[in-house]
Amino acid sequence: MTAPLTEGLDDRIPGDLATRGTAIGARVAGLGAAVEAARGRVADAVLDDVAAAVDKSTGRLRLSARHTVVAIAGATGSGKSSTYNALTGLELSSVGIRRPTTSWATAVVWGSAGAGELLDWLGIPPRHQTMRDSMLDTRSESEFDGVVLLDLPDHDSTEVAHHLEVDRLVAVADLMVWILDPQKYADAAVHDRYFKPMGTHQDVMLVALNHIDTVPPERRQAMIDDVRRLLAEDGLPQVQVLPISAKEGIGMAELRAEILRRVNDKRSTSLRVEADIAAAAGRLEQAGGTTPAAELPRRRVEEVEDRLADAAGISAVVEGIERTVGERARSAVSWPPLALLRRGEDGPGDDPEVAPLDRAAVDTTIRALADEVSDGVGPAWAPRVRESASARLAATGERLEKGLREIDLGGRLPAWVGLVRLLHWLLLVAAVGGFAWWAVAAVQGTTEDLTEVAGLPLPAVLGIGGLVLGLLLAAVGRMLVRGLARQRADQADERLRGVVHQVLESDVVQPIGVELSSYAAFRRGLETARA
Per-residue pLDDT at 111 exceeds 90: no
Per-residue pLDDT at 381 exceeds 50: yes
All structural domains of the chain with their residue ranges: 66-267, 298-529
Q: What is the pLDDT of residue 214?
A: 94
- Average pLDDT, rounded, for the chain: 82
Per-residue pLDDT at 57 exceeds 80: no
Confidence at 1, pLDDT banded by 50, 70, 90: very low
- Cα 267 to Cα 508: distance, rounded to the nearest angstrom: 50
Per-residue pLDDT tens digits for 430-461: 888 777 877 777 777 676 666 766 667 777 77
Q: What is the pLDDT of residue 18?
A: 47
Pure H helices in 39-191 = 44-61, 80-88, 115-122, 160-170, 188-190
Pure H helices in 234-297 = 252-265, 268-288
Selection from 263, 201, 246 nearest residue 69 by Cα: 263
User: Which letter does DSSP use for residue 352 in this model?
Assistant: P
- Cα 75 to Cα 212: distance, rounded to the nearest angstrom: 16
Selection from 457, 462, 451 nearest residue 428 by Cα: 462
- Cα 497 to Cα 495: distance, rounded to the nearest angstrom: 6
- Those residues whose C-beta lies under 8 Å from the C-beta of residue 476, and which sit 6 or more positions away, are none
> For the CA atoms of 361, 362, 364, 365, what is the dihedral angle to 10 degrees?
110
Selection from 316, 336, 289 nearest residue 431 by Cα: 336
Q: What is the pLDDT of residue 301?
A: 92
The model scores a pTM over 0.75 = no
Q: What is the pLDDT of residue 9?
A: 36
Per-residue pLDDT tens digits for 350-376: 667 777 889 999 999 999 999 999 988
Per-residue pLDDT tens digits for 195-219: 999 988 898 999 999 999 999 999 9
- Cα 86 to Cα 91: distance, rounded to the nearest angstrom: 8
Cβ atoms of residues 79 and 240 within 8 Å: no
pLDDT above 70: percentage of residues in the chain? 87
Provide Rg for the chain, Cα atoms: 45
Selection from 182, 177, 254, 178 nearest residue 215 by Cα: 182
Pure H helices in 334-414 = 336-342, 359-374, 382-390, 393-405
Per-residue pLDDT at 100 exceeds 80: no
Statement: 66-267 belongs to CATH 3.40.50.300: yes
Per-residue pLDDT at 13 exceeds 60: no
3 state SS of 107: strand
**What amino acid occupies position 455?**
G
Q: Find the mean pLDDT for residues 139-166.
A: 82
Q: What is the pLDDT of residue 216?
A: 94
* H/E stretch holding 298: helix 298-311
Per-residue pLDDT tens digits for 514-524: 999 999 999 99
